[in-house]
């Protein structure tokens, strides 16, 4: 039996006819950039987040950069973010010419350590970026006391809530619709969602050559627009997001139950969170190096199971960011997580049989390593 990390083909099979009809609509109008499909998606995604504004952009990294620029982050400023994240979070900060200030993660949830983030605030801090990793929100409400803008990285949490609120409802959030996300396009796509019409206007102008109306360029912008074909896919999938997230939740509960007797650390859900299980991340107890985890990964792969590692290197140890000067050991929880985390296959269409096969194979691999 083969079990992929994510099965995009199964999702496509479910929606293929609807997507084709939508593509035909776009082809009939030749409205490839912007137009009614994009506007409709923006309205529908804003409604899904219970927020007044959504601006579709080209990808999640641009969404983060645009959101940071919109709240006034400029070259030379500091932006606080977790070391345990995808490198794009830091990239968006660095592309502005601002300095990423990396903080450790909570060792149980792997989310931003809020106390460490608050302690890192200086007079030069322009924003904090909590990352809602693996499908659950970080305790974003506790960052308000910092008195600086909070830009949520919501790439991995479409449909998740914290105390009933979605990412973006504390101010603004940037999201990615990379194909493997809970709401994924058929290419690159992203969005900024916000409560603030001024922020939404700034993002929209910057993402469209700095123009507020045709040929009126008020600021130097760039081209980061969502295209209509991606909007068709996203609209089609959005009608299924709640159901697919429920299926993910059921699959996560199944893993939780059948992993009980297995010697791994299972993920936990923070109080107040509705988790949408973008990833099911366990920890393989090791010796401080990734060797045991990597041997388990190899044994799973040999049995036809693709597991993942999110993420194998914390941002401060990634070559592109070593110039920031954090030594090994500086952020110990993020470094320990990088050696031990392993993401099991999880997607809405995974079957109980596939999950049992994954856990049986995992248990056998652990016994042999």
Ligand X SMILES: Cc1ncc(COP(=O)(O)O)c(C=O)c1O
Distance CA 362, CA 344 (A): 10
Exactly one of 84, 85, 109, 136 binds ligand X (CB under 6 A); that residue is: 85
The β-bridge relationship of strands 341-344 and 280-283 is antiparallel
The residue to which tokens 């995808």 are assigned: 86
Question: Which stretch, 2-10, 68-76, 80-88, 321-329, contacts ligand X (CB under 6 A)?
Answer: 80-88
Span 112-171, contacts to ligand X by CB under 6 A = 131, 153, 155-156
The verdict on 56 binding ligand X (CB under 6 A) reads no
Distance CA 233, CA 186 (A): 7
Q: Which is nearer to ligand X, 228 or 315 (CB)?
A: 315
Task: Supply the minimum distance, in Å, between the C-beta of residue 338 and ligand X.
Answer: 15
- DSSP string across 330-350: SSHHHHHHHHHEEEEP--TT-
Task: Supply the minimum distance, in Å, between the C-beta of residue 234 and ligand X.
Answer: 13
Asked whether 238 and 245 are in contact (CB, 8 A), the reply is: no
Pick from 89, 87, 99: which is nearest to 173 by CA? 89
In a 3-state reduction of DSSP, which class is residue 229?
helix
The verdict on 188 binding ligand X (CB under 6 A) reads yes
Q: Which is nearer to ligand X, 59 or 182 (CB)?
A: 59
Q: Which is nearer to ligand X, 22 or 130 (CB)?
A: 130
Exactly one of 3, 70, 84, 86 binds ligand X (CB under 6 A); that residue is: 86
Pick from 264, 282, 273: which is nearest to 245 by CA? 273
Distance CA 100, CA 324 (A): 8
The verdict on 59 binding ligand X (CB under 6 A) reads yes
Distance CA 233, CA 17 (A): 11
Per-position x/- string for 309-348, each x denoting binding to ligand X as judged by CB under 6 A, each - no binding: ----------------------------------------
How is residue 177 written in tokens? Answer: 């619709």
The torsion angles phi and psi of 128, rounded to 5 degrees, stand at -120, 140
Q: Which is nearer to ligand X, 156 or 339 (CB)?
A: 156
Q: Which is nearer to ligand X, 235 or 254 (CB)?
A: 235
Q: How many residues bind ligand X (CB under 6 A)?
A: 15
Span 212-251, contacts to ligand X by CB under 6 A = none
Distance CA 97, CA 151 (A): 17
Exactly one of 190, 290, 314, 348 binds ligand X (CB under 6 A); that residue is: 190
Footprint on this chain of ligand X (rule: CB under 6 A) = 59-61, 85-86, 88-89, 131, 153, 155-156, 176, 178, 188, 190
């Amino acid at each position: 039996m083969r079990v992929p990390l994510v099965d995009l083909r199964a999702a496509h099979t479910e929606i293929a006819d609807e997507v084709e009809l939508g593509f035909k609509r776009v082809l009939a109008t030749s409205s490839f950039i912007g137009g009614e499909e994009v506007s409709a998606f923006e309205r529908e995604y804003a409604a899904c987040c219970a927020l007044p504004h959504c601006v579709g952009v080209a990808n999640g990294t641009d969404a983060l950069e645009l959101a940071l620029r919109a709240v006034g982050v400029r070259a030379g400023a500091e932006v606080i973010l977790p070391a345990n994240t995808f490198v794009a979070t830091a990239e968006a900060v660095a592309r502005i010419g601002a300095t990423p200030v990396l903080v450790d993660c909570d060792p149980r949830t792997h989310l931003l350590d809020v106390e460490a983030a608050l302690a890192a605030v200086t007079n030069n801090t322009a924003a904090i970026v909590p990352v809602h990793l693996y499908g659950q929100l970080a305790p974003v409400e506790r960052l308000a006391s910092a008195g600086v803008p909070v830009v949520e990285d919501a790439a991995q949490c479409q449909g998740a809530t914290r105390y009933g609120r979605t990412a973006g409802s504390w101010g603004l959030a940037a999201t990615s619709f990379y194909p493997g996300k809970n709401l994924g396009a058929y290419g690159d796509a992203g969005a900024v969602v916000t409560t603030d019409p001024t922020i939404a206007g700034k993002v929209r102008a910057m993402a469209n050559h700095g123009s507020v109306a045709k040929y009126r360029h008020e600021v130097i912008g760039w081209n980061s627009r969502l295209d209509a074909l991606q909007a068709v896919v996203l609209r089609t999938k959005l009608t299924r997001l709640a159901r697919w997230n429920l299926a993910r939740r059921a699959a996560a509960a199944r893993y939780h139950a059948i992993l009980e007797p297995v010697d791994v650390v299972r993920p936990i859900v923070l109080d107040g969170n509705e988790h949408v299980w973008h990833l099911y991340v366990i920890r393989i107890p090791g010796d401080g190096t990734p060797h045991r985890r990597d041997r388990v990964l190899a044994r799973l792969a040999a049995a036809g199971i693709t597991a993942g590692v999110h993420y194998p290197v914390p941002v401060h140890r990634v070559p592109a960011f070593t110039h920031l000067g954090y030594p090994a050991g500086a952020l110990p929880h993020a470094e320990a997580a990088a050696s031990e985390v392993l993401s099991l296959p999880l997607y809405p269409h995974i079957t109980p049989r596939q999950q049992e096969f994954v856990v049986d194979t995992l248990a056998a691999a652990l016994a042999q390593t």
